[in-house]
Amino acid sequence: MDPFYRTENIEIFRKWVYFQVMNDPRLTLEEYDSRTYKIYYQKRVARFVIWPIGIVEEAVTEGEELLFYLHYQFYNFCFATDLFHRMIQKLTEVHEEKKSILLCCSGGMTTGYFAEKMNKYCQLNKLPYTIQAAPAYHLQDVYQKFDLILVAPQLRYKAAELMQQLQPVTVKCIEPTTFATYDCQALLDQIEDFYKNEEKV
């Protein structure tokens, strides 16, 4: 791109960004210096900088945590506006509160391993679940911290009794094949079915 046209396009882009933010009632804009905008949304801050050499820098932080970072050479308006929209999506994305699920078996060993696998699976897939494990004899001390308790197949005979004792927390049984194979997707399907039904009530 011709340097003159690039300079003109960068200036148009800077003004476009300014009006995009000013026209979004969710956002607050601060002109930090001649090349930097700070854009605020709830507890997050986006930093948008156009350096004199035509490099655009975009970052989103929440406290000390860096959530998004890009820097790129400005080539054309279309490319730059697309990347700006991606930064704003990250800035304004909704936080889902994590839901707490407890896996329970006789001694807590097998469910402890399954819970560890499930947490890794949830992290990789960015799912809003925290999975813990506990032995059956410890349930009375911890059950109130959870939305859902899933008991291992060997405790199926106690499920009805636990449902009564641990109200209002829901108690369900894990399918034997799911439990025996540590099938994270099958267990996730069971968890998500529970929460979908909860939303309908």
Do 69 and 146 lie in a common domain?
A: no
Residue 198 in this model has a pLDDT that exceeds 90: no
> What is the rounded CA–CA span in Å between residue 29 and residue 37?
7
Do 119 and 48 lie in a common domain?
A: no
Do 76 and 125 lie in a common domain?
A: no
Do 113 and 71 lie in a common domain?
A: no
Examine the fold and report which residue of 60, 92, 124 is the final residue of a domain before the chain moves on.
92
Domain that includes residue 181, residue range: 99-200
Do 70 and 118 lie in a common domain?
A: no
Q: Which residues pair with 33 in a beta bridge?
A: 36
Residue 142 in this model has a pLDDT that exceeds 60: yes
Here the tokens at position 80 are 């730059």
* Phi, then psi, of 36 in degrees rounded to 5: -125, 130
Most confident range, picked from 35-39, 104-108, 162-166: 35-39
The confidence band for 125, taking pLDDT boundaries of 50, 70 and 90, is confident
Taking only the tens place, the pLDDT of each residue in 65-93 is 999 999 999 988 889 999 999 999 999 98
Q: Is the pTM of this model over 0.75?
A: no
Contact predicate 115/133, CB 8 Å? yes
Taking only the tens place, the pLDDT of each residue in 144-162 is 999 899 999 999 998 888 8
| Pairing between β-strand 99-105 and β-strand 28-33 as defined by DSSP bridges | unpaired
In total, how many domains does the chain have? 2
Examine the fold and report which residue of 53, 72, 92 is the final residue of a domain before the chain moves on.
92
Element (H, E) at 88: helix 77-92
Do 74 and 108 lie in a common domain?
A: no
Residue 94 in this model has a pLDDT that exceeds 80: no
Do 160 and 180 lie in a common domain?
A: yes
Residue 2 in this model has a pLDDT that exceeds 70: no
Mean pLDDT score, 134-143: 91
Mean pLDDT score, 91-109: 87
Contact predicate 87/69, CB 8 Å? no
Examine the fold and report which residue of 72, 92, 112 is the final residue of a domain before the chain moves on.
92
Mean pLDDT score, 30-59: 94
The confidence band for 195, taking pLDDT boundaries of 50, 70 and 90, is confident
